Structure 1
Amino acid sequence: MAHATKQKLIVLIGPTAVGKTKTSIHLANTFNAEIISGDSMQIYKGMDIGTAKITEKEMAGVPHHLIDIRDPMEPFSAAEFQQLVRGKISEIHSRGKMPMIVGGTGLYIQSVIFDYQFTEAPGDAEYRFSLEKEVKENGIAPLYDDLRRIDPEAARNIHPNNTRRVIRALEIYHCTGKTMTDYQVGQSHELLYDTALIGLNMDREKLYDRINRRVDLMLDEGLLEEVKTLFDLGVREVQSVQAIGYKEIYEYLEGNISLERAIEDLKQNSRRYAKRQLTWFRNKMDVNWFDVTDENHHQKIIKEISEFIAGKLKLKSN
């Protein structure tokens, strides 16, 4: 595909709690953009506080897409995300607006902007069912250990509690003899869109402090009540409540740990997640990074995107 024919796309990424929401509204107003959420958990209704979902007030009239589109009992995959977002990008362009993906779920965003094929690796329903049965009987730890042995790279990128993805990675290996990492390495690295990849970051210690304070704020805003509502509705053993902020409080509600321990785990898991996000973005994408503690970072990002839109900034395609 010739470079000139590619649709333009802005992507704003960064670790949790770095300040993507505020920056995204500023950029959307500047560039007449509509925002597509690039977060794998903000798709779920009723999961607002724990996913740091943007509020109606914060949106400031900017249209947002892929928020509150699934019930917490429903599964959702990166392949579905890819299909929905590509449709939204075309739709937003047809209105003469600029599409902007904002979020922190690396694989989801990568699957959209690159020619990423999900259908290549076959499946084995019987084998998958046997692994699911094993998890029910013995927990996820033994399977995660298997994954670490077979595909250490995938194990580093998949959270031990993400049962579905651990099982999928083992299923791919079982069916093909190739690891999930082998499949990902074989993916095309050509960008499907003329993409401005903007990353927000800050000093690690400052970021961790912000994460800790954000957790305290979430609790003040009613996170415990939000999670208890899902718990009382019988939302169990599904993808949605494996999310950080939900699984820790579920442990408390199930009587396995104290509330203090749940809060400490939540902070620690959030910090570790931020670290994994940054590693993913650095390894998989060619990002233009901006330090949010630089008081001129908004002006610098606007200059970069203005040059990109004018066609003066030729961004790399790998």
Structure 2
Amino acid sequence: MNLLAIVGPTASGKTNISLAVAQKLNAEIVCVDSMLVYREFNVGTAKPTLPQRTLVPHHVIDVIHAEDTFSAFDFCQQATKAIQDIQSRGKIPLLVGGTGFYLKALETGMVKVPDVPKQIRAELEAQVQDEKEREALYAEFQTIDPELSQKVPIQNTYRLIRAMEVYRASGIPFSKFLNQAPQTPKFKIQKIGLEVSKEHLLKNIEQRTSNMISEGLLDEVSELVKKYPSHLKPMKSVGYKEAILHLQGKMPLVEMKERIGFSTWQLAKRQLTWFRRDAQIQWIGGQDAALVDKIQAFC
């Protein structure tokens, strides 16, 4: 039996739709989201609330801390465990999220790469902060892994760091691991994309940004900066990096709100670009009640 996935860009309404679908199907939700895995990052990630998670159990959520690494392989392992657990209890796993690479990893399977000492990652994260050092690191990347460097621009510091940390920990180019046979199961997935107009998505983003601020984004970030350095991946994500600048006195509140809205829109466009390349996604639109019925018809 194929798994069912509801995908779409941030602020497209996946949370509410998936909750309604899950209740109709007697399903539990497996989150396919690279930010929901972090504990303590709640408001800025629009994480499903505790009442929502009581109504419908969610999996692969709140599993690591900010300083921990979490790869697509780790996601596949946790998602596979959750899927098998849900099915063993006679319920349906419902995949929901906007991280297209994680969903693809579930379909194709992933290879385990060596664990990387935290010191190596810390050194690389510090190196990419300086423009000249970042350029030198990228030149090294092009030399040791020309295949992968053609697909990773210098601006993508997350993937640059990932490739270089694997190489420094193992002495093997990251592309060599990516080309190996997968070690995690491959799943067949029926993918439903939520079709949202640009105007509606922009309106949702504006409302989502206002909600985050009113629900305590700045209080949340104030506590996080006491525990974690600002160069960590979740601290640099949309909403958090802007809030940090505001708390440092470098950005007025009005500008912070505008920047969060703009960055969220940019993220949504990147997610849509990824999903639009997948010809297997069936896009549907409409009002919430009609959408739930349409999605249920695919089961």
TM-score range, shorter chain: 0.7 to 0.9
Going from structure 1 to structure 2, the CA distance change for 1:176 and 1:70 (only over 3 Å counts) comes to closer
- The number of equivalent residue pairs is 290
SS, match of residue 73 in structure 1: coil
The answer as to whether partners of 2:66 and 2:228 remain within 8 angstroms in 1 is no
Cα deviation digits, residues 93-123 of structure 1 (max 9, x gap): 111111111111111221122223354x999
Going from structure 1 to structure 2, the CA distance change for 1:43 and 1:131 (only over 3 Å counts) comes to closer
Q: Separation in 1 of the partners of 2:133 and 2:26?
A: 45
Going from structure 1 to structure 2, the CA distance change for 1:137 and 1:171 (only over 3 Å counts) comes to same
Q: Separation in 2 of the partners of 1:234 and 1:129?
A: 13
Q: Separation in 1 of the partners of 2:138 and 2:249?
A: 26
Which residue of structure 1 lines up, in the alignment, with residue 49 of structure 2? 55
Structure 1 stretch displaced more, 266-275 or 130-139: 130-139
Structure 1 stretch displaced more, 139-148 or 272-281: 139-148
Which residue of structure 1 lines up, in the alignment, with residue 64 of structure 2? 70
Q: Separation in 2 of the partners of 1:58 and 1:89?
A: 19
Q: Which amino acid aligns with 1:80?
A: D
Query: Percent of aligned positions with the same letter in both sequences?
Result: 32
Q: Separation in 1 of the partners of 2:11 and 2:126?
A: 36
The answer as to whether partners of 2:30 and 2:94 remain within 8 angstroms in 1 is yes
**Deviation of the 1:126 alpha carbon:** 10
Which residue of structure 1 lines up, in the alignment, with residue 256 of structure 2? 262
Q: Separation in 1 of the partners of 2:153 and 2:9?
A: 19
Q: Which amino acid aligns with 2:103?
A: I
Which residue of structure 1 lines up, in the alignment, with residue 152 of structure 2? 154
Q: Separation in 1 of the partners of 2:63 and 2:121?
A: 27
2:235 to 241, 264, 285: 241
Which residue of structure 2 lines up, in the alignment, with residue 134 of structure 1? 127
Q: Which amino acid aligns with 1:42?
A: L
Going from structure 1 to structure 2, the CA distance change for 1:172 and 1:59 (only over 3 Å counts) comes to closer
**Deviation of the 1:200 alpha carbon:** 0.9
TM-score computed with the length of structure 1 as normaliser: 0.77
Which residue of structure 2 lines up, in the alignment, with residue 20 of structure 1? 14
Which residue of structure 1 lines up, in the alignment, with residue 293 of structure 2? 299
**Deviation of the 1:194 alpha carbon:** 3.4
Q: Which amino acid aligns with 1:154?
A: V
The answer as to whether partners of 1:173 and 1:179 remain within 8 angstroms in 2 is no
Q: Separation in 1 of the partners of 2:6 and 2:249?
A: 39
**Deviation of the 1:297 alpha carbon:** 2.1
**Deviation of the 1:269 alpha carbon:** 0.9
The answer as to whether partners of 1:199 and 1:288 remain within 8 angstroms in 2 is yes
Q: Separation in 2 of the partners of 1:123 and 1:286?
A: 35
Cα deviation digits, residues 23-44 of structure 1 (max 9, x gap): 1111111111111111111122
Consecutive unaligned residues in structure 2, runs of 5 or more: none
TM-score computed with the length of structure 2 as normaliser: 0.81
SS, match of residue 29 in structure 2: strand
SS, match of residue 49 in structure 1: coil
Cα deviation digits, residues 213-249 of structure 1 (max 9, x gap): 2101111111111111111334432222122111111
2:265 to 265, 271, 278: 271
Q: Separation in 1 of the partners of 2:190 and 2:110?
A: 18
1:210 to 191, 204, 210: 204
Which residue of structure 1 lines up, in the alignment, with residue 5 of structure 2? 11
**Deviation of the 1:48 alpha carbon:** 1.1
Q: Which amino acid aligns with 2:38?
A: Y
Q: Which amino acid aligns with 2:44?
A: G
